[in-house]
Amino acid sequence: MSIKIALLGFGTVASGVPFLLKENPSKITEAAHDRIEITKVLVKDDDERNRLLAAGNDYNFVTNIDDILSDDSIDIVIELMGRIEPARTFITKALEAGKNVVSANKDLIATHGKELIELAKDKGVAFYYEAAVAGGIPILRTLANSLTSDKVTRILGVLNGTSNFMMTKMVDEGWTYEDALKTAQDLGYAESDPTNDVEGIDAAYKAVILSQFGFGMTIDFDDVAHKGITTITPDDVAVAQELGYVIKLVGDVREVESGISAEVSPTFLPKAHPLASVNDVMNAVFVESIGIGESMYYGPGAGQKPTATSVTADIIRICRRIKDGNVGKPFNEFVRETKLANPADVKSHYYFAINTPDKKGQLLRLAEIFNSEDISFEQVLQQKANGTRARVVIITHSMSKTQLADVTAKLEAVEDFQVVNTLKVLGE
Amino acid sequence: MSIKIALLGFGTVASGVPFLLKENPSKITEAAHDRIEITKVLVKDDDERNRLLAAGNDYNFVTNIDDILSDDSIDIVIELMGRIEPARTFITKALEAGKNVVSANKDLIATHGKELIELAKDKGVAFYYEAAVAGGIPILRTLANSLTSDKVTRILGVLNGTSNFMMTKMVDEGWTYEDALKTAQDLGYAESDPTNDVEGIDAAYKAVILSQFGFGMTIDFDDVAHKGITTITPDDVAVAQELGYVIKLVGDVREVESGISAEVSPTFLPKAHPLASVNDVMNAVFVESIGIGESMYYGPGAGQKPTATSVTADIIRICRRIKDGNVGKPFNEFVRETKLANPADVKSHYYFAINTPDKKGQLLRLAEIFNSEDISFEQVLQQKANGTRARVVIITHSMSKTQLADVTAKLEAVEDFQVVNTLKVLGE
């Protein structure tokens, strides 16, 4: 006997699954209590099939999903195609056909996860997706199994390898955003349209999924504010370094009294913070909780083998649960009513870079505006006066998102002030 | 209905369990599918019981283990007394009485784990000990569940908070070993007899347990070479910094062709290595594997709440398995025949600090000795000549433990050479 699986898609990640089955057979077979056998692989069309066969891939390639859905011998369907369609339709049909499903598709799970999780529950089958967040880092299962006794208060994550590679170059080498993007594209880290990576959208998908496992709440993707790294200038990076910070694109999910808030934004991290030394394409998830206190989970956020390792761990778990007769247990059992935080409760320190006229009294004008919103300064730097314009950098004490919106509106209403950038600052 | 547990011991860690049950009741109860109730607490004698009662602790304190063993309503016994005896006897009796057992006792598990694991298996009960390695870091369950698809090739860990606090002070502040120890003792991190922490014994216990979960092999404690931090001088620290390294006490378990090797030793870590920024009392486990590649798990290695969080996660897992009817499953199912590596296969770069006479030709003499053992130099620094003695620092290319022993013997046989220190260097 063996457990029979089908792969939907045979791209980079999918071909990592056969790699693991071949390189680590005895451990995987013993853990799964059964041999795992890839019996069918769905590809787009005959051309792709012929190309893969010609390249020496010895699988039963099919081009119609029904060949998999109607095959009763297949226990688990592995979706590794990415994007929303046809993945959504295929997963839905597989669950409806009573198949267990493993997916690494963060876009889909963040936007349509609720209906798929519900469907899997109705059908009494498994729907697991460890690889959807931070690729090789086993963060979802760890939150579900090991932090089950703990109460998570905040999750901070470097969740996108492409933008982290770019920020590392911008911070360590002083590169501009444009240079960093070009190199990321040349190295194959960034796509020709890099929007999802550089605008924080990919990280926001992951923040949605982390909110479920960490806080038991399903925040809608549209409720995750995201701000990308496109506006970061060498000036911002240099000021951060001068003040003892490193700028990274950080996903931030936290619970305050009124509910949870999730956002992705470039963030000033104190140099001694564990996330500050997560560099290049690596990811990390930093968890604050009442029990453990502070813990961090670090590893590759993408890539063939890391992602396939998470996918295969999901497959093994399903095999074991099939034997145990409890395969219908949800991946994440921690569910509470979702409550969004009141922005007035969500507080951070902030960095403001403001251009002002280069004449006397500007700092007083700024101080009056911040003071009118009850915001006080932690650090102020006046820089780069050129006789016409000056640049003032302010790090504030803790202030709310409401105060942030209000003070930004007031600053922007002043004709001769220009708010160049506003970034969150993680307090020490 | 509720799941009834008994605590053996009511020290710092043990009282963290009631803290979590009180602060996080709904999540824990839902995860366990049942309320967890502490029904009995074993203390040493009537004096301790009276003292605890007087301090307002409202538990059923007992002074005889038989009161717990003979109580059929108790499902899980939590051993948090530490040391070998009476913990070993009590756990053995509890397992024999058909109780599930959770322990955080690394000393005991590293030295007598095999017999206890075997007994639990015979009795069909659970014996879990997540908290025994790196306190709050959920590393054992992560290795067992998430890295189950992966093949681990090396585990490097900062596994002892006390010595890491001391090394952090020695590296960042230039303190001597003696100053660091005194402060660690003043802060309550180090005991009056600090041997287990500073000589690497505590870390070696953890390396034994990591070898089971990471490699499926049970290495005997006596086969874990351990070298402590007592011989590290400010000179060693300064040279390390000059060459781009940080010295930390590192546990190192790896598999080479002939088998596994485990050792604990002060190690030169490249500054960019993720373990190099693990500071103060924090711990981290860095895993190299064929699937994920590199991952790291970071958090507090000790302390009341972190340890209690791991203990409570074990309790929840047992509760769930009781419901599922498979509580007898071992904590770690990955077991292979234990093979110890041939020292000739275990290779590292090494740092040598050698005092020589301060006269011409010493480097040539050293080079001849290293060359006779087929060891080549990566970096050489000649330091501190004072007209009588000079100090030469060598970083070698990769060499085996056999070569290390041979060259050290040869160096020590030369009357006017003095080998001041020899430390492992992690290659970039």
The per-residue pLDDT for range B29-47, each reduced to its tens digit, is 999 999 999 999 999 999 9
**Domain coordinates in residue numbering, chain B:** 2-133+304-324, 140-300, 343-425
pLDDT digits (tens, 9 = 90+) for A110-157: 999 999 999 999 999 999 999 999 999 999 999 999 999 999 999 999
How much is the pLDDT for A237? 95
Asked if ipTM goes beyond 0.85, one says yes
Is B289 in Cβ contact with A272 (below 8 Å)?
Answer: no
Q: Which two tokens stand for residue B416?
A: 């006017």
Interface of B with A in 184-203 (CB under 8 A): none
Name the residue with higher pLDDT: B388 or A208.
A208
Alpha carbons A155 and A406: distance in angstroms, whole number: 26
From chain A, the residues in CB contact with B272 under 8 A are 279
- For chain B, the first-to-last Cα distance in angstroms comes to 56
Report how far residue A305's alpha carbon sits from residue B284's, in angstroms, rounded to the nearest whole number: 23
Buried b (16+ CB within 10 A) or exposed e, A342-363: ebebbbbbbbbbbbbeeeeebe
Query: Which residues of chain B make contact with A280, given a CB cutoff of 8 A?
Result: none
- Show the tokens assigned to A97: 């056909």
For residue B206, indicate whether it is catalytic. yes
CA distance A376 to A370: 7
The type of residue at B301 is: G
The tens digit of pLDDT for each residue in A360-392 reads 899 999 999 999 999 999 999 988 778 889 999
From chain A, pick out residues whose CB is under 8 angstroms from the CB of B130.
Answer: 146
Contact yes or no for A383/A355 (Cβ under 8 A): no
Task: Give the tens place of pLDDT for each residue, B375-391.
Answer: 999 999 988 778 889 99
The pLDDT profile of chain B, 428 residues, written as one tens digit per residue, is: 799 999 999 998 898 999 999 999 999 999 999 999 999 999 999 999 999 999 999 999 999 999 999 999 999 999 999 899 999 999 999 999 999 999 999 999 999 999 999 999 999 999 999 999 999 999 999 999 999 999 999 999 999 999 999 999 999 999 999 999 999 999 999 989 999 999 999 999 999 999 999 999 999 999 999 999 999 999 999 999 999 999 999 999 999 999 999 999 999 999 999 999 999 999 999 999 999 999 999 999 999 999 999 999 999 999 999 999 999 999 999 999 999 999 999 999 999 999 999 988 999 999 999 999 999 999 999 887 788 899 999 999 999 999 999 999 999 999 999 999 999 999 86
A398-417: average pLDDT: 96
Cβ–Cβ < 8 Å for B181, B165: no
Kindly state the helix (H) or strand (E) to which residue B391 belongs, with its residue range: strand B389-396
Q: Is B372 exposed, middle or buried (0-12, 13-18, 19+ CB in 10 A)?
A: exposed
* B93 phi-psi bin (left φ>0, alpha ψ -120 to 50, beta other): alpha
Residue A270 has pLDDT above 70, yes or no: yes
Q: Look at residues A271, A165, A147, A120 and name the one whose alpha carbon lies nearest to residue A210.
A: A147
Inter-chain touch B216–A27, beta carbons under 8 Å: yes
Q: Which residue has the tokens 């982290």?
A: A164
- Window 295-314 of B, Cβ < 8 Å to A: 295-300, 303, 305-306, 308-310, 312-313
Any idea what DSSP says for residue B191? Answer: -
**Closest residue to B150, CB basis, from A295, A309, A334:** A309
User: Contact A146/B146, CB-based, under 8 Å?
Assistant: no
- Rounded mean pLDDT of A51-76? 96
Provide the percentage of residues in chain A whose pLDDT is more than 70. Answer: 100
Q: Which residues in chain A have their CB less than 8 angstroms from residue B161's CB?
A: none
Confidence class of residue A182 from pLDDT cuts 50, 70 and 90? very high
Topology of domain B140-300, per CATH?
Dihydrodipicolinate Reductase; domain 2 (3.30.360)
Q: Which two tokens stand for residue B381?
A: 């620094």
Which value, to the nearest 10 degrees, does the dihedral of the CA atoms of residues A106, A112, A117, A119 take?
-140
**B 375-404: CB under 8 A from A:** none
Instruction: Residue B297: name the closest of B163, B426, B146 by CA.
Output: B146
The C-alpha atoms of residue B28 and residue A215 are separated, in whole angstroms, by 13
Percent of chain A at pLDDT exceeding 90: 95
Mutation site, A3, A15, A102, A295, interface B, largest B CB count within 10 A = A295
Q: Which two tokens stand for residue A14?
A: 């999918």
Burial A201-210 (b: 16+ CB within 10 A, else e): bbbbbbbbbb
CA distance A155 to A164: 17
**Between 3.40.50.720, 3.90.1150.10, 1.10.238.10, 3.40.50.150, what CATH number should domain B2-133+304-324 receive?**
3.40.50.720
The verdict on B164 touching A (C-beta cutoff 8 Å) is: no
Q: According to the model, what pLDDT value does residue A428 have?
A: 62
The DSSP annotation for A316-380 comes to: HHHHHHHHHT-TTS-S--------BPPGGG-EEEEEEEEEEESSTTHHHHHHHHHHHTT--EEEE
Are B142 and A146 inside 8 Å of each other by CB?
Answer: yes
A412 a known binding residue?
A: no
- At residue B428, the pLDDT reads 62
Known binder of ligand: residue A410? no
State in words which class domain B343-425 has.
Answer: alpha beta
Q: Residue B262, CB half-sphere, CA atoms under 13 Å: how many?
A: 30
Task: Identify whether the C-beta of residue A4 lies closer than 8 Å to the C-beta of residue A37.
Answer: yes
Distance CA(B405)–CA(B415), nearest Å, equals: 18
How close A181 gets to chain B, by Cα (Å)? Answer: 23
In whole angstroms, what is the distance from residue A327 CA to residue A318 CA?
A: 6
Q: In B, residues 204-223, which contact A (CB 8 Å cutoff)? A: 216
What pLDDT, on the 0 to 100 scale, is given for residue B139?
98
Question: Which pLDDT does position B236 carry in this prediction?
Answer: 94
pLDDT tens for residues A30-41?
999 999 999 999
Q: Tell me the chain A residues in contact with residue B317 when contact means C-beta distances shorter than 8 Å.
A: 145
Residues of A annotated as catalytic (active site), given as ranges: 206
At residue B350, the pLDDT reads 98
The CB-side HSE value for B185 (13 A sphere, CA atoms) comes to 12
Put simply, the chain A residues between 9 and 38 with a CB less than 8 A from any chain B CB are 16, 20, 23-24, 27-28, 30-31
Max Cα–Cα distance, chain A, nearest Å = 83
Look at residues B159, B171, B400 and name the one whose alpha carbon lies nearest to residue B268: B171
| Residues ≥6 apart with Cβ < 8 Å to B44 | B63
- The pLDDT value given to residue B269: 98
Q: How confident is the model at residue A223, as a pLDDT?
A: 97
Which pLDDT belongs to residue B12? 87
Question: Which pLDDT value is given to residue A427?
Answer: 84
Answer whether A269 touches B (CB < 8 Å). no
